[in-house]
């Protein structure tokens, strides 16, 4: 430890950050089992046991909220998880160094943009008289479509924009894994007559499988994170309003926006904490389950 003291010193601030913002707030979980009142505080509020969980599971909105969360999360996982893998394999095959760097920079730039900015861009692009409607009208003569209010398009819009925002950042992780692949394996594949496609399929892809498994386990743990900020900006929340756009709410109201509405907007802190705790427990169980499967299959595990 003394020999590597510089690295341990660098860990001090992140550890302090996690203690203050991640572990200390866990004490607040107890309000999920209380009839919490800010005036009484954590210790003097009335204990009600599992009452809030019973109300949550029997509420009229719970089936809709749970269904939307699972559907949007699965769509983001099915389409979003392989996207950076495929893109990194394609980028790795580019031989023009300058073009490769420019493509990488453009692809991960959206990751650093907040959803406030992204929401404004998307609203402008997909508005009734925005460039997307103008382009489709010019090419196909179609009438303008209200994408932001369309039940047929809103989920596709949410998922595709989430992929667009994060695909470049995920690509960086896989490119770093690809850079560690032994070049002798490619040379052996060339001697065996493998072309560029077969080299990517039988050399590059198997070499990054451990990284893929770790990222997959982490994403499984956050599978119920269906994009709170995104829906907050695109779906109609904002300005202190308590409801999503009523035209699309049945398709995009998720656990996170439901917690926001019940806890922040309506001030029902105990009920919203119960909903948030339920989501966290489900996420933890999914991480443990997927990790155990990875370990039993002989592949890399996270825990």
> What's the pTM value of the predicted model, to 2 decimals?
0.81
Give the pLDDT of residue 14: 93
- Given the candidates 3.40.50.720, 1.10.3720.10, 3.40.50.970, 2.40.37.10, the CATH classification of the domain at 40-296 is 1.10.3720.10
**Looking at per-residue confidence, does 227 or 121 come out higher?**
121
Q: Rounded CA gap, 250 and 70, in Å?
A: 13
**Looking at per-residue confidence, does 209 or 296 come out higher?**
209
- Which run of H or of E encompasses 282? helix 269-296
**Per-domain boundaries in the chain:** 40-296
Q: Is 299 left (phi over 0), alpha (psi -120 to 50) or beta?
A: beta
Pick from 276, 170, 169, 279: nearest CA to 223: 279
Give the pLDDT of residue 236: 60
CA 164 remoteness from chain centre: 12
For Cα atoms 107, 110, 116, give the angle at the middle one, nearest 5 degrees.
165
Pick from 223, 230, 286, 221: nearest CA to 257: 230
266 CB neighbour count, 10 Å cutoff: 12
DSSP-assigned letter for residue 242: S
Give the pLDDT of residue 242: 47
Q: Rounded CA gap, 39 and 42, in Å?
A: 9
- At 132, give phi and psi (nearest 5°): -65, -45
Give the pLDDT of residue 26: 85
Q: Taking a C-beta distance cutoff of 8 angstroms, is the pair 166, 184 a contact?
A: no
Kindly indicate the confidence band of residue 87, based on its pLDDT and cuts at 50, 70 and 90: very high
Rounded mean pLDDT of 35-41?
A: 84
Give the pLDDT of residue 238: 43
Q: What is the pLDDT of residues 182-216, one digit of tens each?
A: 888 888 888 888 888 888 888 888 888 888 888 88
Q: What is the pLDDT of residues 116-175, one digit of tens each?
A: 888 888 888 888 888 888 888 888 888 888 888 888 888 888 888 889 888 988 898 898
Kindly indicate the confidence band of residue 19, based on its pLDDT and cuts at 50, 70 and 90: very high
């Amino acid at each position: 430890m003394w020999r590597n003291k510089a690295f341990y010193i660098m860990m001090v601030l992140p550890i302090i950050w996690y203690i203050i913002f991640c572990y200390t707030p866990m004490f607040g979980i107890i309000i999920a089992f209380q009839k919490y009142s800010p005036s009484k505080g954590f210790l003097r509020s009335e204990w009600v046991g599992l009452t809030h969980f019973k109300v949550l599971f029997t509420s009229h909105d719970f089936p809709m909220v749970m269904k939307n969360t699972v559907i949007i999360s699965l769509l983001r996982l099915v389409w979003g998880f392989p996207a950076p893998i495929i893109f990194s394999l394609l980028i790795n095959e580019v031989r023009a160094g300058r073009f490769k760097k420019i493509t990488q920079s453009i692809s991960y730039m959206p990751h650093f943009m907040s959803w406030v900015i992204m929401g404004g861009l998307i609203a402008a692009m997909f508005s009734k008289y925005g460039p997307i409607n103008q382009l489709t009208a010019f090419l196909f003569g179609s009438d303008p479509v209200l994408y932001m209010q369309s039940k047929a398009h809103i989920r596709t819009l949410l998922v595709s924009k989430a992929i667009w925002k994060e695909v470049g950042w995920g690509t960086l992780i896989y490119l770093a894994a690809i850079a560690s692949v032994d070049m002798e394996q490619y040379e052996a594949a060339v001697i065996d007559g493998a072309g560029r496609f077969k080299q990517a399929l039988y050399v590059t892809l198997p070499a990054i499988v451990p990284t893929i498994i770790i990222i997959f386990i982490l994403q499984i743990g956050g599978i119920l994170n269906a994009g709170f900020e995104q829906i907050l900006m695109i779906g109609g929340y904002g300005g202190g309003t308590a409801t999503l756009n009523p035209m699309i709410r049945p398709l995009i109201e998720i656990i996170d926006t439901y917690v926001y509405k019940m806890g922040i907007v309506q001030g029902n802190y105990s009920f919203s904490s119960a909903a948030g705790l339920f989501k966290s427990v489900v996420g933890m169980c999914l991480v443990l389950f997927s990790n155990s499967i990875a370990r039993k299959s002989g592949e890399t595990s996270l825990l």
